[in-house]
């Protein structure tokens, strides 16, 4: 599953000049609007012929301007899920789903309708027409349609951007399943930090048509200078943690991370699952002494490693907790009151309820690491579910 891209293309006053290689199951293109994400995806999908460059997926060259190779889009076998779904209004859901499959040579058909219906939960929609579907249903059908063409690569261009928060939450688990269960590499375009940090195995940050950073999400997404201005409220650290046990009495889930123990509202995932936790800088408080009489359940010891002012009143403090870098967004006044400076031992404090659906999700690592060292198992999963049904757990 290797994707190699090295292209340059001019679109009016905008220049796209991108070079990266990704091995990940889900590679996210992340950046503000106008950074060239969609153009880049269109170049990969063959909707745009680049001025110069080369694109290859798993050793198959799709575009190579030097040797005059340009595979037309209908022969690329690259699935494309568009932001607006683009379902065919004159066909039923079933006909929409089977459209791409019909054009796939029989020996290349690797994806079955049953599998897709099951994966995306759209079996009951087969005889409906797109006009009568909700936004979330449309997007699931669009994903299924692309999958049934048995693509060698799946492009998803802001598939959730047109949906409200509730619908997004409805679809995200399906995309997680797709990432973990379908054997198809995915390129996922988004300007949402929440989506990217939850889904990506690898991130390519685009800025003004160029690659600003690329690599491991935990590393890349913690660098606030790379986060688009409109997402700065959401910015913070992204860390991996393992579910060590569930606290049935209080409906909590214990997460063991290198930074220390975190308590989150109950997650409906088995113990041992690796989850990805985004700790928003604005949710982190800082104390210079062990706090007493505090409601927040998560207190992590560490030391200040960096101070950065951002704007008139706000400062960002980087705290090293046992090798894990967390960010805290504080007022400059607090920084001065506490006398924060590099090397000062501090405590990072995080409310458990700040770890919610928007910041927690099954890590792409969990498939690889499952069973490695499972830790404590949940004794009565059914009971736990009854106790905290619908309470902060993932669907």
Partner 1 sequence: MEGWLHLSPEEWTAVRLSVRVATVAMLASLPIGVAVAYLLGRYKFPGKSIVDGIVLLPLILPPVVTGYLLLLTFGRRGPVGSFLAEQFGIVFSFRWTGAALACAVMGFPLMVRAIRLSIEAVDRRLEEAAGTLGANPLWVFVFVTLPLIAPGIIAGMILCFAKAMGEFGATITFVSNIPGETQTLPSAIYTFTQVPGGEAGALRLTLVSIAISMAALMVSELMARWVGRKIWTE
Q: Given the rule CB under 8 A, which residues bind partner 1? A: 45-47, 72-80, 82, 84, 86, 88-90, 99-100, 103-104, 128-129, 131-132, 145-146, 149
Cβ-contact 256, 241 below 8 angstroms: yes
- H helices, E strands: number in the chain: 11, 21
Cβ-contact 97, 113 below 8 angstroms: yes
Least separation in angstroms between CB 294 and partner 1: 53
Q: Which is nearer to partner 1, 102 or 250 (CB)?
A: 102
CA–CA separation, 245 and 270 (whole Å): 8
Q: Which is nearer to partner 1, 47 or 226 (CB)?
A: 47
* Residues sharing a CB contact under 8 Å with residue 48, sequence separation 6 or more, in sequence order: 9, 39, 42
Least separation in angstroms between CB 41 and partner 1: 11
CA distance between the termini of the chain? 29
Q: Which is nearer to partner 1, 45 or 136 (CB)?
A: 45
Least separation in angstroms between CB 90 and partner 1: 4
CA quadruple 56, 203, 305, 320: dihedral, nearest 10: -110
Least separation in angstroms between CB 128 and partner 1: 6
Least separation in angstroms between CB 4 and partner 1: 20
Q: Which is nearer to partner 1, 149 or 285 (CB)?
A: 149
Q: CA neighbours within 13 Å on the CB side: how many for 374? A: 9
Q: What angle do CA 43, 47, 53 make, to 5 degrees?
A: 30
CA–CA separation, 35 and 15 (whole Å): 10
- Which DSSP category does 234 fall into? G
Q: Which is nearer to partner 1, 47 or 287 (CB)?
A: 47
Q: Which is nearer to partner 1, 129 or 207 (CB)?
A: 129
What b-and-e string marks burial along 43-74, b requiring 16 or more CB atoms within 10 Å of the CB?
bbbbebebeebbbbbeeeebbbbeeeeebebe
Least separation in angstroms between CB 289 and partner 1: 59
Least separation in angstroms between CB 165 and partner 1: 26
Q: Which is nearer to partner 1, 129 or 177 (CB)?
A: 129
3-state secondary structure of 165: helix
Least separation in angstroms between CB 88 and partner 1: 6
Q: What DSSP letter does each residue of 336-391 carry, written as one string?
A: HHHT--TT-EEEEEE-GGGS-TTTEEE-TTHHHHTTSS--SPPS-HHHHHHHTTTS
Phi, psi of 232 (to 5 degrees): -65, -30
Least separation in angstroms between CB 315 and partner 1: 45
Distance of CA 156 to the CA centre of its chain: 12
Q: Which is nearer to partner 1, 184 or 315 (CB)?
A: 184
Q: Which is nearer to partner 1, 74 or 371 (CB)?
A: 74
Compute how many other C-beta atoms are within 10 angstroms of the C-beta atom of residue 1: 16
> Which tokens in the block code for residue 56?
């290859």
């Amino acid at each position: 599953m290797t994707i190699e891209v090295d292209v340059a293309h001019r679109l009016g006053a905008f220049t796209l000049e991108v070079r990266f290689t990704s091995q990940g199951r889900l590679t996210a293109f992340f950046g503000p609007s106008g950074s060239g994400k969609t153009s880049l995806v269109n170049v990969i999908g063959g909707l745009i012929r680049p001025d110069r460059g080369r694109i290859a997926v798993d050793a198959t060259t799709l575009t190579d301007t030097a040797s005059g190779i340009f595979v037309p889009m209908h022969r690329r076998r690259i699935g494309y899920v568009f932001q607006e779904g683009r379902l065919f209004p004159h066909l039923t859901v079933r006909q929409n789903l089977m459209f791409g499959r019909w054009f796939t040579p029989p020996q290349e058909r690797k994806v079955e309708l049953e599998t897709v219906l099951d994966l995306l939960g759209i079996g009951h929609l087969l005889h409906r027409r797109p006009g009568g579907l909700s936004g979330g249903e449309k997007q699931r059908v669009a994903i299924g349609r692309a999958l049934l063409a048995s693509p060698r690569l799946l492009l998803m261009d802001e598939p959730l951007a047109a949906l409200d928060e509730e619908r997004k939450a409805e679809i995200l688990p399906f995309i997680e399943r797709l990432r973990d269960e379908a054997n198809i590499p995915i390129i996922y375009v988004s300007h949402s930090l929440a989506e990217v940090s939850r889904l990506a195995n690898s991130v390519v940050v685009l800025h003004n048509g160029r690659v600003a950073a690329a690599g491991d999400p935990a590393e890349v997404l913690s660098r606030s200078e790379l986060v688009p201005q409109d997402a700065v409220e959401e910015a913070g650290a992204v860390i991996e943690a393992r579910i060590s046990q569930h606290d049935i009495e209080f409906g909590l889930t214990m997460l063991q991370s290198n930074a220390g123990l975190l308590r989150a509202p109950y997650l409906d995932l088995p113990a041992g699952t690796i989850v990805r936790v985004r700790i928003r800088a604005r949710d982190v408080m800082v104390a210079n002494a062990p706090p007493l009489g505090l409601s927040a359940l998560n207190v992590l010891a560490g030391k200040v490693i960096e101070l950065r002012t951002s704007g008139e009143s706000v400062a960002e403090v980087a705290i090293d907790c046992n090798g894990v870098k967390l960010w805290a967004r504080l007022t400059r006044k607090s920084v001065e009151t506490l006398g924060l400076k590099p090397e000062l031992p501090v405590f990072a404090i995080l409310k458990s309820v700040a770890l919610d659906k928007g910041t927690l999700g099954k890590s792409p690592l969990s498939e690889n690491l499952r069973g490695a060292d499972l830790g404590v198992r949940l004794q009565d999963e059914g009971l736990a579910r009854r106790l905290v049904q619908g309470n902060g757990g993932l669907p």
